Amino acid sequence: MDFVKDVRSVAVVGFGLMGRDISRLLAERGFYVTAVDVSEEVLKKSMEVLVKGPYGIEKAVERGKLTKEQADQILARIRTTTSLEEAAKEADLVIEAVVEDLGIKQEVFRKLDKACRPGVVLATNTSGLSITAIASATQRPQLVLGWHFFNPAHIQPLVEIVKGLETSDEVVEFSRSFLMEKLRKVPIVVKEGPGFASTRLGLLLGLEAIRVVEEGIATPLDVDLAMMLGYRHALGPFETGDLVGLDLRLKAIEQIYEQTKDPKWAPPRLLKQLVAAGYMGDPRIKPGSKGGFYEYFGQKKASEFLKELREKGYKV
């Protein structure tokens, strides 16, 4: 099948948390990026985080991870625009990272399909929506698939490639080699299904963890220590959930519950209550949030608890 394999410029649609880091990753790897978002204000704010944020390019220079010259070259490769059409018409590849809403994604894909050259692959960073439903908004469903990056996208090595019903095997193979060879990522290939493989497993652990706490069996700190020390997870489900955002977690669980009607996906009452009360997650990530599980339960985070033990000589 004929499609564009020679990629130099990439359009990244949605310049929020994920789109910003995906743009940075691409620019660091030598690609020209045009990032699109809904307003100049959003683009400007997001660019400021990319350059001056706590994990931004300037900090990377200060820490000696990039030279000033490299940083300047990376930034020179990222352009921003509010015009999806302008970004799409020059793109050899599109990565979409707008909000997790099927209607909005379909509208974006409808416009992309019209504005992009024939043969351009359209990848979506959705965490769990149907690739087939997103692709149905286009006339090129064979060229639409999921590239599910993990946060932070320029650092996390995993990318879950997700096949829709009509995604071409050649496009999956192109994606695998592009992600491995050009972006130095480790892809896995899965078929679509609510939450794919990674989101489904991660969310279910989070759900069960909340139920353990709701039943009064253990506290968030105990649960996280169990998974970190007992199963060698880098972070426990509560600290992870607080970092991702409780509102996003709740939305993701509700979406899978809607799709499956399986009671195991019924959103836990405690999670709904916390979100309703303004506990949206870790305030360092979610400005204005009252906190996450840890703040509500008034506990020290498991990662800090273990750090203190390490300082005392414990091998943890």
Site residues, ligand NAD (CB under 6 A)? 13-19, 36-38, 42, 97-100, 104, 108, 125-127, 148-151, 244
CB of 52 to ligand NAD, least distance (A): 17
Cβ burial, residue 134 (10 Å; 0-12/13-18/19+) = buried
State the DSSP string of 52-75: HSTTSHHHHHHTTSS-HHHHHHHH
CB of 105 to ligand NAD, least distance (A): 7
Cα(173)–Cα(87) distance, integer angstroms: 25
For ligand NAD, the closer CB: 36 or 50: 36
For ligand NAD, the closer CB: 12 or 209: 12
- The per-residue b/e assignment along 174-187, b for 16 or more CB within 10 angstroms, e otherwise, is bbbebbeeebebeb
CA 126, 131, 137, 142 torsion-angle sign = positive
For ligand NAD, the closer CB: 66 or 87: 87
For ligand NAD, the closer CB: 141 or 195: 195
In the complex, residue closest to ligand NAD by CB: 16
CB of 74 to ligand NAD, least distance (A): 20
For ligand NAD, the closer CB: 100 or 170: 100
CA 194 vs CA 105, 161, 191: distances in Å:
16, 14, 10
303 C-beta neighbours (distance < 10 Å), count: 13
CB of 6 to ligand NAD, least distance (A): 26
For ligand NAD, the closer CB: 16 or 226: 16
Of 108, 34, 29, nearest to 70 by C-alpha is 29
Cα(241)–Cα(248) distance, integer angstroms: 9
130 C-beta neighbours (distance < 10 Å), count: 19
For ligand NAD, the closer CB: 77 or 148: 148
Cα(264)–Cα(62) distance, integer angstroms: 47
Residue 212 has, within 13 A of its CA and on its CB side, a CA count of 17
CB 223 within 8 A of CB 237: yes
CB of 285 to ligand NAD, least distance (A): 9
For ligand NAD, the closer CB: 106 or 299: 106
Cα(46)–Cα(82) distance, integer angstroms: 13
CB of 266 to ligand NAD, least distance (A): 21
CA 231, 236, 237, 238 torsion-angle sign = positive
CB of 179 to ligand NAD, least distance (A): 15
- Partners of 248 in the beta sheet? none
CB of 97 to ligand NAD, least distance (A): 4
For ligand NAD, the closer CB: 269 or 284: 284
CB of 24 to ligand NAD, least distance (A): 13
